[in-house]
A and B are shown apart, each in its own frame.
Chain A
Amino acid sequence: MSDHDETPTTNLRSDAGPKIVGQKDGGQRETGPKNSGQKNSGREETPTRLRRELPEEVAPGPTGPSEKTDQEEQPVLTGRQRLVMGLWPPRVTRAQLIVALLLFGLGFGLAVQVASNSDNDSALRGARQTDLVRILDELDDRTQRLEEEKQGLEDQRTELENSSDQAEEARKQTVEKERQLGILAGTVAAEGPGITLTINDTKGAVEADMLLDAIQELRAAGAEAIQVNGVRVVASTYLTDSGKGISVDGNKITQPYRFKVIGKPQDLEPALNIPGGVVQTLEKEQATVIVERADKIIVDALRAAKQPDYARSSSQ
């Protein structure tokens, strides 16, 4: 549309008329007016328009400005009147239809562009490249930071899992050790191969020291858990004579004395039967002694764990 706006401007500038008259071609116009650089699209239209207008412009007067010529062509119409005239009585002309078509295209494109710009709701759409690069960098940084944090947390989790595994393992070992120690201390029941030793003492000749000898012999032969007539024999067990019977840790027991011993039967039995050993000594006292091996001895007499008053563990 450049020629539409160029031509009046050129004519309004005072000395455009004579130049054009002198040159008679459109070529000079490009260098003549100051704003000639604007007309880049409609250049080819210019000469015809000039040729059409020039005779009328030139005819009234050589230096006449275009306003004067306009008034002479259409003496009554101002721009506003033309606008109103063009707007109100709607005329279906070819020009109107073509312009309407083009304006339809413009409106359509405008609306589509506005819609696609606004309803895509992402603020990134209209952002410039540098902004996008910056945003991307920030996101990268943030991703990296979060990755590092995640890595740290995962390490921590692994560590905790390991340590909890270790704690679990330690706990298992502790439980196992407690059971083992409990067998020795008499706080848990025990079972396993071993022997039973039954001493029938109808005459009442067996005394505490004989039973103690028997216990010590059994221990020396590798007995691991011993109970006698329902009393567990542990490290602190003591035996005393008590009337017709014998007191073990304060619990009075009477004959027959039944020892249940867990240990290796092949060791325990010979240990009792050696010449001059426990069995012979007891038989010398008129007691009858029966030693039986068994594959499964259950030592189920228990003893409460006793917290030592003075001794403390020095291992840790």
Chain B
Amino acid sequence: MIAVLGLVVGVVAGLLVRPEVPAVVEPYLPIAVVAALDAVFGGLRAMLDGIFDDKVFVVSFLSNVVVAALIVFLGDKLGVGAQLSTGVVVVLGIRIFSNAAAIRRHVFQA
């Protein structure tokens, strides 16, 4: 419950504050958000499976974000930033979908 509240408060704060995204962070923010979404779905699924572990969640959340940003950064340096970020989004999207499917099975029993 508190976690959901945290998400809601974060969204509201982001909408209200509307900070200027620094130009350095700008290319990595969307990928980082998608990676974090992936981690959140994984965590939700783990909770439904009853194997949720906050330490694992924290580590995987942070490492997901960092690795995704790192991949995009590396891709930018290599000149394939657009393609690589597309690839990252595709992979994370697949994972989100499979996690969402597991969650759906748990919640709707179908």
Instruction: Report A's interface with B, CB cutoff 8 A.
Output: 1-5, 7-8, 38, 40-42, 45, 49, 53, 70, 73-74, 77-80, 82-83, 86-92, 94-113, 115-116, 119, 128-129
Contact between chains at A74 and B6 (CB < 8 Å): no
For A106, the closest partner residue in chain B by CB is B36
Contact between chains at A113 and B15 (CB < 8 Å): no
Contact between chains at B63 and A42 (CB < 8 Å): yes
CB-defined contacts of A2 to chain B, threshold 8 Å: 42, 60, 95
Q: A99-B58, A104-B6 are in contact. List 5 more A-B contacts (CB 8 A).
A: A1-B41, A2-B42, A78-B109, A80-B106, A111-B13
Q: In the docked arrangement, what's the CA distance between A222 and B40, Å?
A: 115
Q: In the docked arrangement, what's the CA distance between A41 and B56, Å?
A: 11
Chain A to chain B contacts (Cβ below 8 Å), 27 pairs: A1-B39, A1-B60, A5-B46, A5-B95, A5-B102, A7-B51, A42-B59, A42-B60, A42-B63, A49-B56, A73-B50, A74-B50, A79-B106, A80-B106, A91-B2, A92-B2, A96-B1, A97-B2, A104-B7, A105-B10, A106-B37, A107-B10, A107-B13, A108-B13, A110-B10, A110-B37, A111-B15
Contact between chains at B102 and A86 (CB < 8 Å): no
Partner of A86, one of B1, B13, B41, B61: B1
Q: Mark B30-62, 1 if CB is under 8 A from A, else 0.
A: 101100111111110111111111101111111
Partner of B47, one of A53, A83, A89, A104: A83
CB-defined contacts of B58 to chain A, threshold 8 Å: 98-99, 102
Partner of B56, one of A42, A104, A108, A112: A42
CB-defined contacts of A119 to chain B, threshold 8 Å: 18
Contact between chains at A87 and B14 (CB < 8 Å): no
CB-defined contacts of B99 to chain A, threshold 8 Å: 1, 5
Q: Determine how close the nearest CB of chain A comes to the CB of B67; give it in whole angstroms.
A: 6
Q: Determine how close the nearest CB of chain A comes to the CB of B31; give it in whole angstroms.
A: 10
Instruction: Report B's interface with A, CB cutoff 8 A.
Output: 1-15, 17-21, 26, 29-30, 32-33, 36-43, 45-54, 56-64, 67, 82, 91, 94-95, 98-99, 102-103, 105-107, 109
Q: In the docked arrangement, what's the CA distance between A70 and B51, Å?
A: 9
Q: Determine how close the nearest CB of chain B comes to the CB of A97; give it in whole angstroms.
A: 7
Contact between chains at A99 and B50 (CB < 8 Å): no
Partner of A45, one of B8, B38, B60, B98: B60
CB-defined contacts of B60 to chain A, threshold 8 Å: 1-4, 41-42, 45
Interface class of chain B by DSSP: helix
For B20, the closest partner residue in chain A by CB is A116
Q: Determine how close the nearest CB of chain B comes to the CB of A183; give it in whole angstroms.
A: 82
Contact between chains at A70 and B43 (CB < 8 Å): no
For A111, the closest partner residue in chain B by CB is B14
Contact between chains at A83 and B64 (CB < 8 Å): no
Knowing A107-B11, A113-B30, the reply to whether A102 touches B36 (Cβ < 8 A) is: yes
Q: Determine how close the nearest CB of chain B comes to the CB of A303; give it in whole angstroms.
A: 88
